[in-house]
């Protein structure tokens, strides 16, 4: 399908611009055959949520407003909305008041931020400021992940300079959950002075475990 879509879209770089209406019509014509019904109630291809009408409308508003939300002065409304939404999340999740909140663009950046915070904290406890001194000469960090870890977590480790091939893999069950005995064995291994981070990010269940899935009578109805 990817190759077919590429053939449809393939075209030389335009020498001149085109009217906006023509551009939009061409976009619809080219994209139509390569769209999945992700917003439908019976789309089970991946763990993807359907578009909610209110969310779509809010997205339209944000695009129409066209704010540069780099700081509070440039976009006070957007900054205030983010601040309040963050407080609500802290309250809903029962986290410590004043907890820092950041809204990420997706799974890879969410894993990146979480692992970066863990990396900074475990090194801080050893007297190493990674933000100021970098990783050159820093104490090594052990990173433990579930056997079915999502690729986004491995990408985050790569971006953070921790490497995606030197992690400690923890055996998982048929639901992608870490096995307690395997987790304990990893946590108890190695030097007691070596700092470590553990990511409990959701596994790549749809990719690695799909062949084991079964449809229950309730789901089939």
Q: Which domains does the chain have, with CATH numbers?
A: 107-208 (3.40.640.10)
Strand order in the sheet with 196-199: 168-170, 142-146, 196-199
Gap between the Cα atoms of 204 and 208, Å rounded: 6
pLDDT confidence of residue 21 = 96
pLDDT confidence of residue 14 = 93
pLDDT confidence of residue 50 = 72
Query: Buried (b) or exposed (e) across 112-125, using 16+ Cβ within 10 A?
Result: bebbbebbeebbee
Which residue shows structure tokens 């007691």? 192
Which residue shows structure tokens 């020498």? 15
pLDDT confidence of residue 209 = 44
Query: Buried (b) or exposed (e) across 158-176, using 16+ Cβ within 10 A?
Result: eebebebeebeebebeeeb
Which residues of the chain are modeled with pLDDT < 50? 192-193, 206-221
Contacts of residue 173, Cβ cutoff 8 Å, sequence gap at least 6: 179
pLDDT confidence of residue 199 = 67
Gap between the Cα atoms of 1 and 33, Å rounded: 10
pLDDT confidence of residue 2 = 65
Rg (CA), the chain: 23
Contacts of residue 47, Cβ cutoff 8 Å, sequence gap at least 6: 205, 206
The dihedral built from the CA positions of residue 118, 124, 126 and 132, taken in this order, carries a sign that is positive
| Full-model pTM | 0.72
52-94 residue pLDDT tens: 889 899 999 999 999 998 889 999 999 999 999 999 999 999 9
């Amino acid at each position: 399908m990817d190759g077919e879509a590429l053939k449809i879209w393939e075209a030389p770089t335009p020498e001149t611009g085109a009217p906006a209406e023509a551009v939009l019509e061409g976009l619809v014509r080219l994209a139509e055959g390569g769209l999945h019904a992700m917003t439908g109630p019976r789309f089970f291809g991946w763990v993807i949520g359907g578009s909610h009408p209110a969310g779509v409308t809010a997205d339209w508003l944000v695009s129409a407003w066209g704010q540069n939300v780099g700081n509070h002065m440039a976009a006070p409304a957007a900054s205030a909305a983010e601040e309040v939404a963050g407080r609500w999340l802290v309250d809903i999740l029962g986290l410590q008041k004043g907890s820092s909140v950041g809204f990420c663009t997706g799974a890879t950046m969410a894993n990146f931020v979480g692992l970066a915070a863990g990396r900074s904290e475990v090194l801080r406890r050893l007297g190493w400021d990674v933000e100021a001194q970098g990783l050159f000469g820093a104490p090594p960090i052990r990173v433990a992940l579930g056997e079915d870890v999502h690729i986004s977590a491995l990408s985050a480790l790569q971006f953070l300079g921790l490497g995606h091939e030197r992690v400690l893999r923890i055996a998982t069950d048929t639901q992608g959950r870490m096995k307690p005995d395997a987790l304990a064995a990893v946590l108890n291994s190695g030097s007691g002075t070596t700092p470590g981070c553990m990511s409990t990010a959701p596994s790549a269940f749809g990719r690695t475990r799909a062949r084991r899935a079964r449809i229950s009578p309730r789901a089939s109805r």
